[in-house]
Structure 1
């Protein structure tokens, strides 16, 4: 039997160019890439070292608030005070720098000066139907590996990826707006970036996180909160009758998706 010759598992160059050549099928049932963007986000991915090792998005590591109600249920009931426990994802870092400077790879001499890591419940609210463009930028701050970023509840158009620092003046012209791959997980290359676009049309509380278990557990996670739409079919359904009334800290993550509508479960998750 003939066995195909596969690239080495650490051959990041071959992997990068293979992924760059991917497209989706041109099919009339597939939605077109939205051209009008409502929200732009630039999110850096790195590691930190406050207290214990943490993983970050825009220098913030996820720390769930101390609550007794799952976040999705609190969102449905608009629980008073919940917003005060959440920190909104900034559109970009307060201080821009050369994200892919190899001097920042551990134990680079400049990493500590740029780290400034904090812990918080990192979220971003979107109105129903908003078109979101997000650039995920890998950094050399205490890491040198790729990050597979997974968005729950939505599919993303993967417009472009590149090595080095993202430069909108140069890289927007490279976007594939005709037949880009449609994924819910994208690999952000080591010392590189990925530009994605998605429509926030699935109401509820959704997680975006690195799919490496150790990065997920270290906090490379943010919450995406999508508001209700104008109709019953575009609004979050109420909790089911058998929804748990008593939870532990470990249940808070799992329960966010428990009472999504069956339509959402089938078409999104």
Structure 2
């Protein structure tokens, strides 16, 4: 492995590659095996218990020049579909290429620190309607995101239009609980998150640290969290509830990997940090297609900088209207 999400890594030798929705991986393959044909195979990683998924295995053939054989290649042994230890080993062993092209050192001073819970939930039946029961929902810090319909958030930011979003997304969970303990599902109110278009407003060039915390509400799952507009350093990742007293010691400030999508471990956490040097409105969301419309999203509003080059330009005159 030499690159992830278009960011160079220290070369990492592996016989298995894990990639979540929204991620990319660049690899160099060493053709040092006997002349012949070999399968390249891929299968799903599905970390959620009891959830249906497409358990298809796809294959391609890598054939050496001069291969005289017409026999079918041997199928490689693939990890189990729920092999979280293998996924975590791959993700946590990647490091950044210090001094390489586009390398950025870790910003050490944090201006805006956030602990953000991510997970699924339920949405009650609307008033005055008949339902068979609640439907699936999702939230971050107990807020289920609703996309605006009257005007885009970026236009609202540029033209200073009120009523499209609010800048009161909580920087930490509104209710603290034992995040990865399945018993939380016995407390019915925690299953229902209010709807809202809540975002976080930060100053230009400020440093933002996001500690993503998976929750056991409706079950733990690996969530690929993608941030538009920025790459971030991945300082640490692990399982259980994030504990500042002990887990801060695990932060890598020397050569952490950089990427734009972090697969937050199932029943675990991940620490990311980025510099908000790109003015505008940037969505942060789960890259599982089903989870975004359910509300597993929020956004950052990054204020303009001091120069024309660091100021959001106006929309094009032919921009289609909502």
Superposition TM-score tier, normalisation by shorter sequence: 0.7 to 0.9
Report the Cα distance in structure 2 between the residues aligned to 1:75 and 1:97, rounded to whole angstroms: 34
* Secondary structure at the counterpart of residue 123 of structure 2: coil
In the alignment, is residue 13 of structure 1 matched against residue 90 of structure 2? Answer: no
Q: Specify the alignment match of 2:190 in structure 1.
A: 114
Asked whether the equivalents of residues 114 and 210 of structure 2 are also in contact (C-alpha less than 8 Å), the reply is yes
More helix per residue: 1 or 2? 1
Among 166, 171, 175, the residue aligned to 1:86: 166
- Aligned position for 2:181: 101
Please name the residue that 2:112 is paired with.
Answer: 39
Measured after TM superposition, the shift of residue 143 of structure 1 is: 2.5
Q: Output aligned runs, 1:116-265, within 5 Å.
A: 116-244=192-320, 246-247=321-322
Q: Does the alignment pair 1:60 with 2:143? A: yes
Aligned with residue 122 of structure 2, among 45, 49, 53? 49
How big is the shift at 1:18? 1.6
> How many residues of Structure 1 are paired with residues of Structure 2 in the alignment?
239
Q: TM-score, normalised by structure 1?
A: 0.84
- CA drift of 1:66 comes to 4.7
Offset at residue 74 of structure 1 (A): 1.6
Higher CA-based Rg: 2
Report the CA distance between 1:93 and its aligned residue: 1.3
Q: Give 1:86 deviation, angstroms.
A: 1.7
Q: Which one of the candidate residues 92, 95, 99 is aligned to 1:27?
A: 99
For structure 2, which runs of at least 5 residues remain unmatched after alignment? 1-36, 40-75, 125-134
Cα shift readout 1:243-267 (whole Å, capped 9, x = no counterpart): 12x32xxxxxxxxxxxxxxxxxxxx
Deviation at 1:94, TM superposition (A): 2.4
In the TM superposition, residue 9 of structure 1 has moved relative to its aligned partner by 3.1
Cα deviation digits, residues 178-213 of structure 1 (max 9, x gap): 111100000011110000000011110111000001
**Aligned mates of 2:159, 2:186 — CA distance in 1:** 48
Contact 2:122 2:192 in 1 (8 A): no
Work out the CA distance in 2 between the residues paired with 1:96 and 1:241: 47
Tell me how far apart the structure 1 counterparts of residues 77 and 149 of structure 2 sit (CA, whole Å).
Answer: 51
What secondary structure is seen at the aligned counterpart in 1 of 2:290? helix
Kindly indicate whether the alpha-carbon contact (under 8 Å) linking 1:59 and 1:115 is maintained by their aligned counterparts in 2.
no
Q: Give how far 1:87 is off.
A: 4.8
Matched with 2:158 is 76
**Deviation, structure 1 residue 116:** 4.5
Q: CA RMSD in A?
A: 1.6
TM-score (normalised: structure 2): 0.71
Conserved 8 A contact 1:56-1:117: yes
Equivalent-residue separation in structure 1 for 2:104 and 2:257 (angstroms): 12
In the alignment, the residues of structure 1 paired with residue 302 and residue 174 of structure 2 have an alpha-carbon distance, to the nearest angstrom, of 25
Q: Output the CA distance in 1 between the equivalents of 2:292 and 2:149.
A: 19
Deviation string 1:86-142 (CA, Å, 9 cap, x unpaired) is 2521111122111111234xxx423x1433410000200010001000100000011
- For the residue of structure 1 that corresponds to 2:313, the secondary structure is coil
In structure 1, stretches of 5+ residues that fail to align are: 248-269
